[in-house]
Amino acid sequence: MALVSGAGGVGEPREQRGMHTAFDLSFAHTEGRWARPGSWVGASFPDVRIYQEIARTAERAGVDLLFFGDGSGIPDTWRGSMDAAVEWGIQWPRHDMSPVVTSMAAVTEHIGFGLTYSSTFQHPFTVARLLNSLDHVSRGRIAFNVVASARGADAANYGFDERMDHDERYDRMAEFMAVCRALWASVPASAIVADRSTGRFADPSQVHPIDHVGRYFSVKGPLASMPSPQGQPVLVQAGNSPKGIATSAEFVELVFGFGGSVEGKRRHRAALDAALVAAGRASAVDTVGILWATQALVGRSAREAAERRDEVAAFWNPEAVGAFLSHNVGFDFSTLPTRFTVGELVAEVQRVNGAQGGFVGSLAASLGASASLSRQELFEHGWQHATGLDHTLCGTAASVADALEADFEATGSRGGYMFASPLAAPSGFGDLAELLVPELRRRGALAPRYAGATLRENLGLEGGDGVAG
Ligand SMILES: Cc1cc2nc3c(=O)[nH]c(=O)nc-3n(C[C@H](O)[C@H](O)[C@H](O)COP(=O)(O)O)c2cc1C
């Protein structure tokens, strides 16, 4: 195996590992995908049979993780109305996918499942308890993506009439995760005695309340649950602002990274490595991978891929783009003046506590704060971002695999790719599973296929806080 030097100036030379792969199923049915060629006929979202089929196909290919983001509100930031999102099916409908995960777990053996819950709106006891149960049902295949939600439509469903301040959302996340981890560790595996001869069930000296009293939560504990196969789910975090990275460095085991340019990914990797060291987790620099959000579209020929790409472009109209962007950034782009600088846009997004990474962050990184834009130019960038076609890897399995191998080496060689598909389900993910993933495996580019019994082991991670020993 090759040795490569560590990223971010903090690493010793380390062994290069293969890529991990995940499918992001959050939006397998929205933004017009449901109507594209190759969509299911006779079954539609949220029919579990669709998801079971995707799970079986992805497991045959050896994909590590199927992932669901989450959001509870219909986008309503654009023009202060949900009409455009409702009309064009932008990021809705969305369900709580945890029951769907149980149905997928029942028809598979190895593949992992990532679920997203918001530390801004949820209570940690509910989430810790649910994820423990799901880890049992899936026999140790659950990951938890914790998000500090920026979206106004979500906030309004949980009694917030305005979004919580950006940095405060992360203070709440820090406390939320401390509570969850303490709960998962409150009944260690070694506490369960289960002695049939005496009927003695568990050792009380090992089962403790957590007695947490903090700024946001008061939780007595313990979690009155059996310790789960992984002890705790694999902990994932996605926010990529400096505060988001610093907060997650305390606990994160796998990062869901906003894709973007190689330079942007390198910066993110370096910031994460530095934050892990600052949090006293220097050894985690090697084990915490970043799965880069990557939209991919593969065809049996370059021509087929290009034709399918055109199907995607045909769907998006200005109202759909506006609804998509405004929701994800948390800023109403319809209010922009006719001309402005990127710096002014960033300041406005900060003022309304919107997402400073993602679209706006990558615009600032690529154009610079002093660049001047017209509304029309901004919407052209926005169209590229919403369709994803500016950064979609599109081509044959061989050409997309070439691009991924080069990107992986250039961006830290830890983690891999979270693939989204702009095509209809199941055909888009089916092509990724049947063409792209086998091509990567044939080249020896992937991490070993399901090397362990749990998702944590398959990702090469150590035991979580709650795992005995
Ligand atoms: C790759 C990626 C995936 C995300 N997925 C979700 C999600 O599923 N639900 C959600 O509410 N927020 C999601 N977010 C938003 C983040 O949780 C966070 O609110 C946003 O990135 C702003 O925080 P930041 O300024 O630290 O980046 C995601 C962000 C990124 C970069």
Distance 206 CA to ligand 1 centre (A): 37
How high is the pLDDT of residue 461?
94
pLDDT value of position 362: 86
Predicted local confidence at residue 10, as pLDDT: 45
Q: In testing the pocket of ligand 1, which one of 118, 237, 240, 346 has its CB within 8 Å of the most ligand atoms?
A: 240
**41 Cβ partners below 8 Å, 6+ apart?**
none
Closest protein CA for atom 10 of ligand 1: 149
Residues 115 and 101: beta-carbon distance below 8 Å: yes
CB atoms within 10 A of CB 428: 27
Phi-psi region of 312 (alpha: psi -120 to 50; beta: other; left: phi over 0): alpha
Residue 183 lies in a domain: yes
Q: Which residues form the domain of 142?
A: 3-303+392-458
d(CA 112, CA 457): 11
What is residue 469's predicted lDDT score, i.e. its pLDDT? 32
Verify whether ligand 1 is closer than 6 Å to residue 27 (CB atom). Answer: no
Q: Does 428 contact ligand 1 (Cβ within 6 A)? A: no
Give yes or no for residue 98 CB within 6 A of ligand 1.
no
CA-147 nearest atom, ligand 1? 17
Question: Whose CA is closest to atom 18 on ligand 1?
Answer: 239
Tell whether 331 is covered by a domain.
Answer: no
Q: How far apart are CA 251 and CA 255, in angstroms?
A: 11
- Could you tell me if the CB of 82 is within 6 A of ligand 1? no
Ligand 1 lined by 244 (C-beta under 6 Å): yes
Q: Does any ligand 1 atom lie closer than 6 A to the CB of residue 238?
A: yes
CA 18 – ligand 1 centroid, Å: 26
Residue nearest to atom 13 of ligand 1 (CA): 147
- Please indicate, yes or no, if residue 382 is contained in any of the structural domains: no
Cα–Cα nearest to 298, from 372, 195, 384, 403: 403
Longest Cα–Cα distance in the chain: 79
Residue 246 Cβ inside 6 Å of ligand 1? The answer reads: no
Any idea what the CATH number is for the domain that residue 406 is in? Answer: 3.20.20.30
Give 10-residue mean pLDDT values along the chain (469 residues).
39 64 96 90 92 97 97 94 97 97 98 97 97 98 93 85 84 98 98 98 98 98 98 94 95 92 94 98 96 96 95 92 93 96 95 85 92 95 89 96 97 96 93 98 97 96 60
Distances (CA, A) of 276 to 245, 273, 321, 412: 9, 5, 36, 15
Residues 383, 319 contacting (CB under 8 angstroms): no
pLDDT at 239: 81
| One-letter identity of residue 79 | R
Q: Which of 97, 149, 291, 356 to mutate to test the pocket of ligand 1 (most atoms within 8 A of CB)?
A: 149
b/e per residue, 295-324, with b = 16+ CB within 10 A? bbbbbeeeeebeebbebbeebbeebbbbbb
Inside any domain, residue 352: no
The sign of the dihedral angle between the CA atoms of 241, 242, 247, 249 is positive
From the CB of 150, is ligand 1 less than 6 Å away? yes
Q: Is residue 184 part of a domain?
A: yes
132 ligand 1 Cβ < 6 A: no
Predicted local confidence at residue 20, as pLDDT: 98
Residue 327 lies inside a defined structural domain of this protein? no
Two structure tokens written together for 176? 């939320």
Q: In this structure, which residue's CA is closest to atom 22 in ligand 1?
A: 355
Instruction: Classify residue 170: in a domain, yes or no.
Output: yes
pLDDT at 465: 60
Q: Considering its fold, how many domains does the chain have in total? A: 1
69 within some domain: yes
**43, 102, 157 from 426: Cα distances, Å:** 11, 19, 31
Beta carbon of 248 within 6 Å of any ligand 1 atom: no
CB atoms within 10 A of CB 266: 15
Residue 332: both structure tokens together: 């109403």
Which tokens hold the place of 290? Answer: 């970043």
Q: Is the CB of 153 under 6 A from ligand 1?
A: no
